[in-house]
Structure 1
């Protein structure tokens, strides 16, 4: 469907639901809707989609507004979210998205030594001749001295080919774990609530950050470990090539839940994809996708899982079951 028509449908939904629409507004809306079946369907899709958001809207609203009791009825929360999101149209929604999802992370990027934007990759040769490749939306700070070589990965993902130097260990620090090596190849992915280390060659030592509980583990090629607020987890065998496939411009999933896949895709989109219906979050996705065309990845997933997406304010994409499936389930 034409994005322009979808945007117009959203604008009309916002205006008519504001309580300030005049009789002339209603007449112009009816004239707009009668232009074609596509116009009518665009507006119907917005209405049906919004009706399906009762539960999800309540959860999102409570996450962003802790003072709202969990006993608050969904209809009350939806009305409040409706006023906040739709009353002022796409511009207000875009501003809210910017404040919640974008600005906090940018503070970390502004203070970093090296960073990448959405969809960008960057290769850097460090002062010790080690190679560091940054994946999309990644920020790092460098602190090299005569005793150690330290990289702070504040957000995102980086692959390292470390120049061997027994007198100066190479350290990668994240919020949930510290990686120490003298010379090897490995990948570190720092997410909001965990970090993952995957070794391609050599050995690395992974320990909790600061005073976190847990134990130190040693990984060899083809092994992976994750760390979070509870410490360092167990070692698992993995395909290191898949974990670092992003270096070749590929995103590879093997039997991964859709919720995890969407989290990954959000790193490559300049906006944000939201799963509006929690029923689809556990649908399984497998495949290898071209990272240079993230929109085509989303379209392939929609087609495979029989889903529909709705784009709001340009960079906010809502993923859900088509309206007919809502009615049938």
Structure 2
């Protein structure tokens, strides 16, 4: 069944909507910044303004705060919390860095595991963190499924449809009278005799063509892409189109990540698919900075460091499962 992901409405298949992980990540960033600088009243006012701007912001904050409270890690100064009908649990005293690591890990686990489990339950093919999978579909099409990715197939007598539930996949489509469609959320890519890459994550979607032609439909618009074209689409409908050498499409298959004008927040989510653990950027301005370059996926720490260093960022590895960018 074709589905469409929306933030505030029920899905057509009757399941609850997928949580907005970008908002949850932003709320976690606020929590970490407040923990790192508890006496910064200007920061507190900025957080209050962010919470008042949208009920979804406050809902994301409550979920992050709930993760904190599950491990008994309320802040030592109760008035640092924004006003809320439900008071925080009593604090236990831990060293600040231990509190930071424990809270961040608990928040990540609580907010990520259940949505990910639902997506992977729907999949016909899935990969763990750090591993890719080469497969041949029933029509003879070749697919390389990226790390920590999930794919579902739906072939019939009159169409070939696959759903990229999460992650990234490269398609080399076999000739067939039936159209070949790749669905990712509310974005659809239709093959017109080609090889192409599709990415789906919390930030949005991207399609890049290495050979042939692809028609991409998103919201009310349609884009025609030829070899060397790349289209990036955000979940709020914004589109960016780029040109790149066709041999740079899907370099992740060779252990390289070639990126063009992507935010650090977006890249942090991508790197999490190639190494166990979580990457949190504790500065909203830094998370929004854009990056272009080529990075080695076999050394995640070096890749992340190379991404943030030109913007004045540094990587703090708290545990093998948690990296925080400051």
Q: Determine if the TM-score, normalized by the shorter chain, exceeds 0.5.
A: yes
Tell me the distance in 2 between the aligned counterparts of 1:85 and 1:130. Answer: 57
* 2:36 counterpart residue number: 50
Structure 2 counterpart SS, 1:164 = coil
3-state SS, counterpart of residue 216 of structure 1: strand
The answer to whether residue 281 in structure 2 is matched with residue 271 in structure 1 is no
Equivalent position to 1:128, from 139, 146, 149: 139
Task: Measure the CA separation in 1 of the matches of 2:59 and 2:250.
Answer: 33
- Give the match for residue 214 of structure 1: 220
Counterpart residue number, 1:42:
none
Q: Distance in 1 between matches of 2:184 and 2:213?
A: 18
- Give yes or no for the alignment of 1:196 onto 2:182: no
User: How far is 1:174 from its partner?
Assistant: 1.1
Secondary structure of the corresponding residue to residue 65 of structure 1: helix
Distance 2:208 2:93 in 1: 41
Rounded Cα–Cα distance in structure 2 between residues aligned with 1:231 and 1:47: 29
1:96-175 correspondence to structure 2 within 5 Å: 96-165=107-176, 167-175=177-185
CA–CA distance in structure 2, aligned partners of residues 229 and 306 of structure 1: 28
Task: Please list, as runs of the form range in 1=range in 2, the aligned pairs for 1:1-329 lying within 5 A after superposition.
Answer: 50-51=36-37, 55=43, 58=47, 62=58, 64-65=60-61, 75-77=80-82, 83=91, 93-165=104-176, 167-208=177-218, 213-229=219-235, 233=239, 235-254=241-260, 256-283=262-289, 285-301=291-307, 307-312=313-318, 314-320=320-326
Partner of 2:22: none
| 1:52 Cα offset (Å) | 6.8
How much does 1:136 deviate? 1.4
User: SS of the residue aligned with 2:170?
Assistant: strand
CA offsets per residue over residues 93-142 of structure 1, 9 Å max, x none? 53332111233112211221001111211111111111001111110101
SS in 1 for 2:81: helix
Q: Structure 2 CA distance, aligned partners of 1:215 and 1:302?
A: 34
For residues 254 and 317 of structure 1, what CA distance do their matches in structure 2 show?
23
How far apart are residue 152 of structure 1 and its match? 0.7
Structure 2 unaligned spans of 5+: 1-31, 52-56, 65-77
The answer to whether the 8 A contact 1:152-1:174 is kept is yes
Task: For residue 224 of structure 1, report the CA deviation from its aligned partner.
Answer: 2.2
Decide which moves more: 299-308 or 262-271.
Answer: 299-308
Give aligned pairs, total: 266
Structure 1 position 153, deviation (Å):
0.7
Distance 1:231 1:255, change over 3 A: closer
Q: Any idea what SS the aligned residue of 2:221 has?
A: coil
Q: Which runs of 5+ in 1 are unaligned?
A: 1-45, 321-329
* C-alpha spacing 1:127/1:67, structure 2 compared with 1 (3 Å): closer
What SS does structure 1 have at the residue aligned with 2:165? strand
Contact kept, 8 Å, 1:215 with 1:231, in 2: the verdict is no
Indicate the larger mover: 178-187 or 88-97: 88-97
Please, what is the CA RMSD of the aligned residues? 3.8
Query: TM-score scaled to structure 2, two decimals?
Result: 0.68
2:89 & 2:210 partners in 1: Cα distance?
46
Question: Does the CA contact (< 8 Å) of 2:228 and 2:244 recur in 1?
Answer: yes
Q: Is the 8 A contact 1:91 1:313 kept in 2?
A: no
The 3 A distance-change label for structure 1 pair 185 and 302 is: closer
Contact 2:264/2:308 (CA < 8 Å) preserved in 1?
Answer: no
